[in-house]
Amino acid sequence: MRRAITLAAVPMVCALTPACTSPAPVGDGPLRYPATGNTRTFELRVQDVRWEVGPGAVYDAWTYNGAIPGPTLEATAGDRIVVTLINESDHAASVHTHLVEFAQAQDGADPASIAEPGETVTYEWFAPYAGTVPYHDHADEGEGVARGLTGALVIHAPDEVPANEHVVVLSDLEPRNFLQLPGVADPVTGMLGPGEYRGPHQYLHIMNGHAYEDAIPPFSGRVGDLSRWRVVSIGIQAHTFHIHGHRWVDADGTLTDNIQLAPGTYRTFEFEEDREGDWLVHCHFPEHMEGGMMTRYRVTP
Comparing CB distances to Cu ion, the nearer of 10 and 207 is 207
Please pick, from the candidates 167, 288, 290, 295, the single residue that binds Cu ion as defined by CB under 5 A: 288
| Span interacting with Cu ion, options 67-75, 144-152, 243-251, 281-289, rule CB under 5 A | 281-289
Q: What gap in Å lies between CA 181 and CA 179, rounded to an integer? A: 7
Comparing CB distances to Cu ion, the nearer of 210 and 239 is 239
**Residue 211 C-beta: closest distance to Cu ion, Å:** 12
Please pick, from the candidates 239, 246, 282, 296, the single residue that binds Cu ion as defined by CB under 5 A: 239
Comparing CB distances to Cu ion, the nearer of 33 and 197 is 197
Neighbours of 157 (CB within 10 A): 21
282 is a contact residue toward Cu ion (CB under 5 A): no
**Residue 95 C-beta: closest distance to Cu ion, Å:** 25
**Residue 268 C-beta: closest distance to Cu ion, Å:** 19
Query: 198 burial class (0-12, 13-18, 19+ CB within 10 angstroms)?
Result: buried
Q: What gap in Å lies between CA 201 and CA 118, rounded to an integer? A: 36
Residue type present at position 248: W
Q: What gap in Å lies between CA 152 and CA 171, rounded to an integer? A: 12
Asked whether 223 and 275 are in contact (CB, 8 A), the reply is yes
CB-based contacts of 165: which residues, under 8 Å, 6+ apart?
154, 228, 230
Asked whether 170 and 235 are in contact (CB, 8 A), the reply is yes
Comparing CB distances to Cu ion, the nearer of 78 and 291 is 291
285 is a contact residue toward Cu ion (CB under 5 A): yes
**Residue 164 C-beta: closest distance to Cu ion, Å:** 24
Mode of pairing for the β-strands spanning 39-54 and 277-282: unpaired
283 is a contact residue toward Cu ion (CB under 5 A): yes
**Residue 114 C-beta: closest distance to Cu ion, Å:** 30
Q: What gap in Å lies between CA 228 and CA 212, rounded to an integer? A: 23
- Please work out the total of residues on this chain that contact Cu ion, with binding judged by CB under 5 A: 4
102 is a contact residue toward Cu ion (CB under 5 A): no
User: Residues interacting with Cu ion, by CB under 5 A?
Assistant: 239, 283, 285, 288
